[in-house]
Structures are given as C-alpha cells and as structure tokens.
Structure 1
C-alpha cells in the first residue's frame, strides 16, 4: 500500500466498524499514541516499540509510542508527538499528521486517542532506555490484513471480551495495540 492509496481510504465519509473496547465505569485517563507510518514511496511500514523489560506495567509488550496526556499538552496530537520524541527521538518535523482514529478504552483505565501520521524515513532513532527496549518496523499491509489477526476471548465476571493478537516474525503484537491496528484495518479495508 502506498501513501496515496492509504489517504484515499483513510479520508472517507463512511463510518467503519470499531472493535469493542473495555467499558469503563467512569471517564478514562486521557492518553495518546502515534501510529507512525514510514513512507518508503513504494510501501508503508508501521514503526512499533517494545517496552523496556524493567517497567512495572506491560514490560516487553509491543506498543506505539505514546502515553498519558499531560497538562502542558494542548491536544492529543501534541501529546502523541511529545511522547514519540521522548521515547524514540522522532522529531516532530519528520511527521505529517493525517488524522485520528476513534478513542480506545483499556482495562487499565486509559482512553487512548490513536493519532495517525506519515514519517519521513532517514531519521535516527534515539531510544529512551527507561521506556523502550527496542523499535522495529512491520509492513503496513501485513498488520492491516485481518487474515493475520488472531482473536482470543476472555471473561471478566459474566462478560466476554476479545483480545487480539498479530504475529510478526518472532514477536507478538497484542492487546490494545493490536485492537487499534484492527480498528485501522476496518477503517482502511471496510
């Protein structure tokens, strides 16, 4: 998939299907992630991170750069860009923001705003070792293809919830990151 094709599908007027998220009893803590799409001209790749292994919450889990919205952030876009710069050294001038997906609520009490942006290749990653173990790219076509998505159902009390998994080489993208990718897939390939 190329940038022009992605934009044509992303900026449509139809309302795509969204995967169910966790029904919080009160408003979730605002958070934002950047879905960084690296534009190589002939193909797009998504840049993902592996969370540091020493972290108390979600160590080693695959995620997008992002985190909680802070008071100094003027918008979800600002929060996503600040977090991407802090976590992986992605300079804001290398990102062209194209929009945002519907928010996704998590079992940990966050309401995540997924911000989508194109990234110019050629910047040098500067990983914050306190937060990020590694960063890697996956072809966007692979993660958007729902044939590559696995679904496991779990129960909380009497309610059943899906947990999504997307295998890539020796890694497993799962949880909120996989659900957000799945929502992007529904948006691009309804």
Structure 2
C-alpha cells in the first residue's frame, strides 16, 4: 500500500464503528496523539514510542507521540504536532495530516484525539530521553490486519469490554494505542 491507496480507502463515505472506550462520568481532559506513517519506497510503516520507564504514568508502555493539550495549543492537532516534536524531534512542517480518528476516552481520564500524519522516510529522530526510551516501526499492513489483533475480554460495570493486544517482535502494543490502531483498521477491513 502507498499513500494514494491509503487515502483512497481511508476517506470513504461508509460509516465505521469505533471500539468501545472508557465511559467517563464527566468530560475527559483533552489530549491528542499523532499516528505517524512513514513513507518508504515500497512500504508504509507506523512509528511507535516506548515511554520512559521512570515516568509516573504508563512508564515503559507503547504509545504514539502525544499528550495533554496545553493552554498555548490552539487546537488538538497542534497538541499532537507539538508533542511529536518534543518527544521524537519531528518538526510539524514535515507532517502531512490527512485525517483523524474518533475521540477515545481513557481509564486515566483523558479524551484523546488521534491524528494521522504522513512523513517522508527514512526518519532521523531525536528522542527526548526524559519522555521516550526508544521508538520502533511496524509495517502498516501488519497493523491493519485483524488477524494480528488479540482480544482479552474484561468485565467492567456488568459489561464485557475488549482489550486489544498487537504483538510485534519483542513489543506488545495494547490498551488505547491498540484501540487507535483497531479504529484505523476498520476503515480498511470493516468491523470484524
């Protein structure tokens, strides 16, 4: 798949369901992430970060670059781009935002807006070691394939809720990050 094929399938008119999120009692704190898709000659890959282990919240977990909206951010898209620059050194002008996914409420009280952005590869990342221990890339086609999504069901408020896991090499992408991937995959393979 290349960028043109991605855009043709992502920007469609059919309604796509979203994965269930955490039912917050009040509005969540606004946050945003960037789903960075790197364009290589024959392949598209997605960049993930491994959060620094010393962080108080979600240390060592797999995520997309992003965070909470600051007062200086005029939009949530600005939040995603600012956080991406701060965490992994990608300047906002290098990112071609092509769309977004539905907001997703998390158990930690955030309402996250995921933005999809294309970048020319190869990348020359500069990690903020205070926030990110490492990054890795996963082929987009692997991520979109529902056969690579493992599901663990939990009981929450007398209801069964899926928690998704996407194993990749020594990494395990799960939780909200996997749900973002899952929501993106519905644009290509429907809700299976």
**TM-score, structure 1 as length reference:** 0.97
Question: What is the alpha-carbon distance in structure 2 between the residues aligned to residue 129 and residue 171 of structure 1?
Answer: 19
Is contact 1:17–1:187 with CA below 8 Å preserved after alignment? Answer: no
Instruction: Identify the residue that residue 60 of structure 1 maps to in structure 2.
Output: 60
Instruction: Identify the residue that residue 20 of structure 1 maps to in structure 2.
Output: 20
Is contact 2:24–2:105 with CA below 8 Å preserved after alignment? Answer: yes
SS of residue paired to 2:73: coil
Detail structure 1 runs of 4+ shifted over 6 Å in the superposition.
none
Is 172-181 or 115-124 further displaced after alignment? 115-124
Is contact 1:77–1:115 with CA below 8 Å preserved after alignment? Answer: yes
RMSD over aligned CA atoms reads 1.0
Instruction: Identify the residue that residue 37 of structure 2 maps to in structure 1.
Output: 37
CA offsets per residue over residues 21-60 of structure 1, 9 Å max, x none? 1111110000000000001132100000000011111111
Work out the number of aligned pairs and report it.
190
Instruction: Identify the residue that residue 182 of structure 1 maps to in structure 2.
Output: 182
SS of residue paired to 2:53: coil
> Structure 1 stretches of 5 or more lacking a match?
none
Is contact 2:68–2:79 with CA below 8 Å preserved after alignment? Answer: yes
> Structure 2 stretches of 5 or more lacking a match?
none
Instruction: Identify the residue that residue 137 of structure 2 maps to in structure 1.
Output: 137
Is contact 1:3–1:41 with CA below 8 Å preserved after alignment? Answer: no
Instruction: Identify the residue that residue 90 of structure 1 maps to in structure 2.
Output: 90
Question: What is the alpha-carbon distance in structure 1 between the residues aligned to residue 65 and residue 50 of structure 2?
Answer: 9
Question: What is the alpha-carbon distance in structure 2 between the residues aligned to residue 31 and residue 2 of structure 1?
Answer: 29
In the TM superposition, residue 76 of structure 1 has moved relative to its aligned partner by: 1.2
User: 1:2-21 residue pairs with structure 2 within 5 A?
Assistant: 2-21=2-21
Is contact 1:9–1:189 with CA below 8 Å preserved after alignment? Answer: no
Question: What is the alpha-carbon distance in structure 1 between the residues aligned to residue 56 and residue 159 of structure 2?
Answer: 27
**TM-score, structure 2 as length reference:** 0.96
SS of residue paired to 1:7: helix
Given the alignment of the two structures, is residue 78 of structure 1 paired with residue 70 of structure 2, yes or no? Answer: no
CA offsets per residue over residues 156-181 of structure 1, 9 Å max, x none? 34232211000001110000000010
